[in-house]
């Protein structure tokens, strides 16, 4: 009887310890709708270093462990390098999440309180965040920050949603409203380091000419030397595409073709998906398809880290901008062609 009682105590203690998690790491367990059995990637900064990990999802379900003694923003990517979600995590925590590649803001997250609040904000404001203008998105973020100055989610929204293009002073003023404890210096610096590392990894590589299959059932031949400035939009089937197309259309209509070249490079897995998207876009610029998606050797040197992604180049192929912001890409085009 005593032995059974002792065994029961051991089992109970084991369960308690296992439920507390491992304080030496964090764990993300999740699923991505329609992914099947493919790779999943995560990226984050800890102790000043950028960390990248990959695992294989089985039937869309995955588990990835990471290490960070302080809160860090963890970015999660599908097999096509499409950003499907972000979470806030640190050692000792387990984050449960589910993502929809077709709707970034439909994520479901359970874990620490800030991550849950962050996900809830994205869910509840998905319409403005996915289709609103930068001014509308900024106004939404501003209201949250003003009303939640003591919440770390305010910092997360400023880092990931607020568009500071031509608005840097207001962004700084708004950021300063957040209480110091809700904007940890290390968290902010680490996320900026992550963006710099990702966007500058191939900044000095020249954009070279290429030929790819176009929506018009012909070969599109691109060369940076044929225009004063060109913008390459690397895409897939993602939420927010309508807003991106609308922003690009304004730049496309503003400049003559001899000065500005715009090419939409699709990394969709098959031509049927690509043509369906291209048909709905109904745009006047070339839309091409890269066989093999992100693995296509044509763009190996450019090291496209995520989707959607934008590269602006001058007539020599020198990169003037590379990053995930369509507004920053168009701003780089305007700056180049305003001379």
* Residue-wise pLDDT tens digits, 150-206: 999 999 999 999 988 777 788 889 999 999 999 999 999 988 888 887 777 788 899
Q: How far is CA 282 from the centre of its chain?
A: 25
């990894």: which residue's tokens?
A: 201
User: What pLDDT is recorded for position 196?
Assistant: 81
256-283 tens-digit pLDDT: 999 999 999 998 878 888 888 778 777 8
User: What pLDDT is recorded for position 95?
Assistant: 96
Domain 210-337, CATH among 3.10.20.30, 3.40.30.10, 3.40.50.300, 3.40.50.970: 3.40.30.10
Average of per-residue pLDDT across 219-248: 88
Report which of 271, 287, 277 is spatially closest to residue 212, judged by C-alpha positions. 287
Where exactly are the structural domains of the chain? Answer: 24-200, 210-337
SS3 (DSSP) at 189: helix
Taking 80 as the threshold, does the pLDDT of residue 293 lie above it? Answer: no
User: What pLDDT is recorded for position 21?
Assistant: 52
Which of 85-99, 244-258, 265-279 is predicted with the least confidence, judged by mean pLDDT? 265-279
Angle at 104 between CA 198 and CA 180, to 5 degrees: 65
Contact between residue 80 and residue 307 where contact means Cβ atoms under 8 Å apart: yes
Which DSSP category does 30 fall into?
E
SS3 (DSSP) at 125: coil
Q: Provide the whole-model pTM.
A: 0.78
Distance CA 13, CA 25 (A): 21
SS3 (DSSP) at 239: coil
User: What pLDDT is recorded for position 233?
Assistant: 96
User: What pLDDT is recorded for position 8?
Assistant: 45
Strand partners, 212: 220
Average of per-residue pLDDT across 39-50: 90
Q: Are strands 319-323 and 108-110 parallel, antiparallel or unpaired?
A: unpaired
Q: Is 39 exposed, middle or buried (0-12, 13-18, 19+ CB in 10 A)?
A: middle
């020249």: which residue's tokens?
A: 206
Taking 60 as the threshold, does the pLDDT of residue 252 lie above it? Answer: yes
Neighbours of 41 (CB within 10 A): 20
């Amino acid at each position: 009887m005593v032995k059974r009682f002792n065994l029961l105590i051991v089992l109970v203690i084991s369960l308690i310890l296992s439920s507390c998690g491992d304080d030496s790491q964090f764990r993300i367990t999740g699923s991505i709708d329609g992914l099947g059995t493919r790779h999943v990637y995560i990226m984050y900064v800890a102790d000043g270093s950028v960390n990248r990990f990959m695992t294989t999802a089985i039937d869309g379900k995955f588990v990835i462990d990471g290490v960070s003694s302080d809160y860090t923003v963890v970015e999660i990517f599908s097999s096509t390098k499409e950003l499907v979600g972000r979470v806030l995590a640190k050692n000792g925590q387990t984050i449960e999440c589910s993502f929809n590649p077709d709707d970034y803001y439909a994520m479901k997250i359970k874990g620490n309180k800030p991550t849950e609040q962050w996900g809830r904000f994205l869910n509840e404001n998905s319409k403005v965040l996915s289709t609103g203008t930068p001014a509308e998105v900024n106004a939404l973020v501003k209201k949250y920050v003003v009303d939640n100055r003591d919440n770390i989610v305010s910092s997360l929204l400023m880092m990931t949603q607020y568009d500071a293009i031509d608005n840097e002073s207001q962004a700084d003023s708004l950021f300063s409203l957040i209480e110091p404890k809700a904007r940890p210096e290390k968290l902010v610096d680490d996320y900026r380091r992550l963006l710099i590392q990702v966007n500058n990894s191939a900044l000095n590589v020249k954009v070279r000419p290429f030929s790819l299959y176009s929506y018009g059932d012909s070969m599109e031949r691109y060369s940076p030397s044929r225009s004063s400035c060109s913008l390459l939009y690397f895409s897939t089937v993602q939420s927010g595409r309508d807003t991106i197309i609308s922003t690009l259309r304004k730049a496309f209509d503003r400049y003559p073709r001899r000065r500005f070249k715009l090419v939409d490079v699709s990394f969709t897995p098959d031509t049927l998906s690509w043509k369906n998207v291209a048909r709905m876009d109904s745009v006047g610029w070339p839309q091409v398809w890269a066989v093999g998606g992100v693995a296509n050797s044509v763009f190996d040197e450019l090291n496209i880290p995520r989707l959607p992604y934008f590269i602006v180049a001058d007539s020599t192929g020198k990169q003037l901008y590379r990053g995930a912001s369509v507004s920053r890409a168009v701003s780089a085009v305007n700056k180049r062609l305003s001379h």
